[in-house]
Amino acid sequence: MDDLKIYRPEEMDDIPFPQEGDAQFGSTIGSEGGGTYSPQKTQDIPFPDPRIAHEVLSRSINTKSKKILQEFQFTVQGAIQIGEYQPGVSGDIRISPAGIVARNSLGNETIAIDGENGDAVFAGRIQTGAIISGRVIVGDNTVVIDGENGIPRILLYNDGIPQILIGRRA
């Protein structure tokens, strides 16, 4: 039984944990064989620069009240679509340099404004408190309500020939 080897623990000296201000703070402490390391002092880290996109959104759009707080400018190119057309569920509105188109949930165009010539088509009622216009033409020039040049009159046409005049002649 002489082959059995008995191991006994080594005696280790107590080494206090280094404190800030100690001469050896941040360096190796202990014997050369297996060193004990103390933590290095961490450098102060500055706050990151604000992200521009988040700053613009938080100052310009209130997502809680769902309100736009500041003016936005549109770019020269592109278009805007509001909503998503889903048959029988929801309509959409599209705004582009070519004009404005609104569709209902059935797919019917309810508003169409041509950006090239200014033609406008409305599927529903147009209502206002007052209309200010110099001349109103109804149909294919069959009824003309004319208030231009300070001469109020209503002309009713038949095949392009004035048939009835209400008011004064020009």
Distance CA 121, CA 143 (A): 19
Q: Which helix (H) or strand (E) holds 59?
A: helix 52-60
Burial class (CB in 10 A: 0-12, 13-18, 19+), 11: exposed
Distance CA 163, CA 22 (A): 112
Question: Mean pLDDT over all residues of the chain?
Answer: 79
Q: How many CB atoms lie within 10 A of CB 91?
A: 19
Answer left, alpha or beta for residue 91, where phi above 0 means left and psi between -120 and 50 means alpha.
beta
pLDDT by residue, tens only, the chain of 170 residues: 567 888 888 887 777 776 655 555 455 555 555 566 666 777 788 887 776 665 666 677 787 888 888 887 766 777 888 999 999 999 999 998 889 999 999 999 999 999 999 999 999 888 888 777 777 888 787 888 887 777 788 888 888 888 888 887 76
Distance CA 36, CA 24 (A): 12
Distance CA 56, CA 133 (A): 42
Q: What is the DSSP string of 96-138?
A: ETTEEEEE-TTS-EEEEEETTT--EEESS----S----SEEEE
Q: List beta partners, residue 35.
A: none
Per-residue CA distances from 6 to 1, 9, 10, 79, 151 (Å): 12, 10, 13, 86, 127
